[in-house]
Chains A and B, each alone.
Chain A
Amino acid sequence: MTNLIKLSAADLSGLLADRSVSSVEVTRAHLDHIAAIDTDVHAFLHVAGDAALATAARIDARRAAGEVLGPLAGVPIAIKDVLATQDMPSTAGSKILEGWIPPYDATVVRRVRDAGLIPLGKTNMDEFAMGSSTEFSAYGPTHNPWDLDRIPGGSGGGSAAAVSSFEAPLALGSDTGGSIRQPAAVTGSVGVKPTYGGVSRYGSIALASSLDQVGPVTRTVYDAALLHDVIGGHDPLDSTSLTDSWPSMAAAARAGLADGALKGVRVGVIKELAGEGFQPGVKQRFEETLALLARAGAEIVQVSAPNFEYAIAAYYLILPAEASSNLARFDSVRFGIRVNPAEGPLTSERVMAATRDAGFGPEVKRRIILGTYALSAGYYDAYYGSAQKVRTLIQRDFDAAFAQVDVLVSPSAPTTAFKFGEKMTDPMAMYLNDVTTIPANLAGVPGMSLPMGLAPEDGLPVGLQIMAPAKLDARLYTFGAAVERLLEATWGHTLLSQAPELAPTEMFASEEGVV
């Protein structure tokens, strides 16, 4: 019998459609695997086993009754805990929202349910998506399936670890400065940050509203495209949602699998994202990938984006500024916990301050204070105002680059997965993880990460980042699928097939409730 958990969503889709397998079987296989390994991996904050099986049974019944369902109906999916889910706790990795069950679904969650996918549970993340390692989750870190002593990336380390350890074929993530792409890179999986406004943010607990974007987390480019088609498109509930009509990303990915798909594609290598600070094995795999692309007929062009070196600085002003105002909503009145001060009068203001002290972790406090500073009178122009100007300059760099090339590439992250604790005491070192991914968020352009090999020095996954002009997400999928096919043909296998098998742990994770 086929090992159902190793199949792609596309393959599962075929087996479910011709009823070779049932959604209940597929869902149970994933739940069993979660129960066996998630005590070690800790990708999930909540597993909704019974609800998932009940939903799967309903999908099976509809299919048995002859209903024609969408391509992903019956396929399980893991949902990042930043997304509101009506039937599961939604904490965004924070103590301040411990146990909170929202009264509504995020639009992407609603679309996933309407398409018949089976939500398995909620995945771990850095608190309010602030971090690059999941070490800032209030519920303990997620472990990288390639090496349990290492970080799975962040903030969406839970979603990336869930797909790369075969706990789910698909997951939802959110990417504010790389939170989908960097975890994909360090876990050997695929992640896409769509064009800003391409996917609804309604019901995504806001970090930085001008940067946040929800997107797919998968093991293959084609699976990401299938999921993108489910979650994308205009949503009147999000006033930043683009009203464009989008082409099928799945069709775009299929076009990339045709012979000669890379012939004549102009691939821009960003000079500023290929030099200092990159691990040797990351650079080596990147150079090799460029050589492969050239042999397949792509034209490799060196481009310069001189203002990218200011991207991190601009980002760590804009993000904290927006976050400090977004997180003002945690006031101990409408949702979340309430903590009274140890002494003194109980006024709303003092209860709010005590609650936020108890409910927020160190990175959240750091960024709220930084954002409050950047927005305060006397500093606003020098910091926040200047950062917004840098944003314009970075957009111009992208415009100039895309006048010369079709896609831009870089390593997705400067290093492979680092060990727990390595960067916890140095905020700036942690922030530098996002040097490659932040420019796309500042400019709003779409970006993808897919595996391009293992670093020779540590045997850990290395990711290739691809960026396309705004609204041309389809181009990412065509090019990405072509690169994935080329790399896998060269290796003779998928990258994830090289990951170590995780042994079942003795203690089974609880099937319901926060683990």
Chain B
Amino acid sequence: MSEITAEQVAHLANLARIDLSPEEINRLTTELGQIVDSVAKVAEVATPDVPATSHPMPLTNVFRPDTVVPSLTVEQALSGAPDHDGDKFRVPAILDEE
């Protein structure tokens, strides 16, 4: 059995910036434990001599010519924003007052 606790899930939710309810945390603690137990089997064959693959068709040094091409206008870039002010995204306070 995995050692995942509700405190750990609450911490992960905070890292992932998702406000989970206590019920969601409890449910996810159980589910995550089951999933992690099941996926942990990767360690059975992942021996030190096996190199890791991060990308199925590896490419290196993908460059394009350093030329200016048309990009989104300010209006387009802001068109989907929940809030904006002039030509900028408007966001709530970045820092807590305390």
Contacts and interface: CB of A to CB of B under 8 A. Distances in A.
Q: Are A and B a genuine interacting pair, yes or no?
A: yes
Interface in A96-154: 100-104
B56 interface: yes
Contacts of B54: 210, 388
Interface string A12-38: 000000000000000000000000000
B15 A365 contact: no
B82 A103 contact: no
Contacts of A442: 56
Interface in B8-63: 8-9, 12-21, 24, 28, 31-32, 34-36, 38-47, 50-57, 59, 62
B35 A356 contact: no
Contacts of A314: 39, 42
Given A369-B28, A389-B50, A395-B56, A103 B17 contact: no
A407 B82 CA distance: 49
A333 B18 contact: no
Contacts of B97: 345
Given A360-B18, A369-B13, A390 B57 contact: no
A332 B90 CA distance: 10
B72 A317 contact: no
Nearest to A369: B12
Nearest to B29: A369
B27 to A, nearest CB: 8
B28 A313 contact: no
Nearest to A392: B53
B18 A356 contact: yes
Nearest to B83: A338
Contact of B77 (A103, A351, A360, A392): A103
**B: interface residue count bin:** 35 or more
A383 B52 CA distance: 12
A483 interface: no
B59 A240 contact: yes
A77 B46 CA distance: 43
B35 A316 contact: yes
A386 B42 contact: yes
A366 interface: yes
A388 B14 CA distance: 26
Contacts of A248: none
Contacts of A197: 57, 59
Interface in A378-428: 382-383, 385-393, 395, 427-428
Contact of A335 (B21, B56, B81): B81
Contact of A240 (B14, B42, B55): B55
Interface in A339-362: 340-341, 345-354, 356-357, 360
B38 to A, nearest CB: 6
A102 B24 contact: no
A278 interface: no
Interface string A297-339: 0000000000100101110110000001000100111111110
Interface in B83-98: 83, 89, 91-97
B84 to A, nearest CB: 10
Contacts of A52: none
A472 interface: no
A310 B44 contact: yes
A479 interface: no
Given A104-B72, A357-B19, A332 B35 contact: no
A248 to B, nearest CB: 21
Contacts of B81: 333-335
A101 B33 CA distance: 38
A364 to B, nearest CB: 9
A101 B79 contact: yes
A353 B57 contact: no
Contacts of B89: 333-334
A272 to B, nearest CB: 13
Contacts of B56: 196, 210-211, 391, 395, 441-444, 470
Given A103-B76, A382-B43, A352 B17 contact: yes
A195 interface: yes
Contacts of B42: 310, 313-314, 317, 383, 386-387, 389-390
A123 to B, nearest CB: 21
A370 interface: yes
B92 A348 contact: yes
Most chain A C-beta atoms within 10 Å of own C-beta, residue among B16, B18, B54:
B18
B15 A307 contact: no
Contacts of A444: 56-57
Interface of B: 4, 8-9, 12-21, 24, 28, 31-32, 34-36, 38-47, 50-57, 59, 62, 64, 72, 76-77, 79-83, 89, 91-97
Interface of A: 100-104, 195-197, 210-211, 236, 239-240, 242, 307, 310, 312-314, 316-317, 324, 328, 331-338, 340-341, 345-354, 356-357, 360, 365-366, 368-370, 372-373, 376, 382-383, 385-393, 395, 427-428, 441-444, 470
16 contacts: A103-B72, A240-B57, A242-B57, A242-B59, A310-B41, A313-B38, A335-B80, A340-B92, A341-B19, A365-B18, A366-B28, A373-B32, A389-B51, A393-B45, A395-B53, A444-B57
Given A210-B56, A391-B52, 10 more contacts: A313-B38, A345-B97, A348-B93, A353-B14, A369-B12, A372-B15, A385-B52, A386-B46, A388-B54, A393-B45
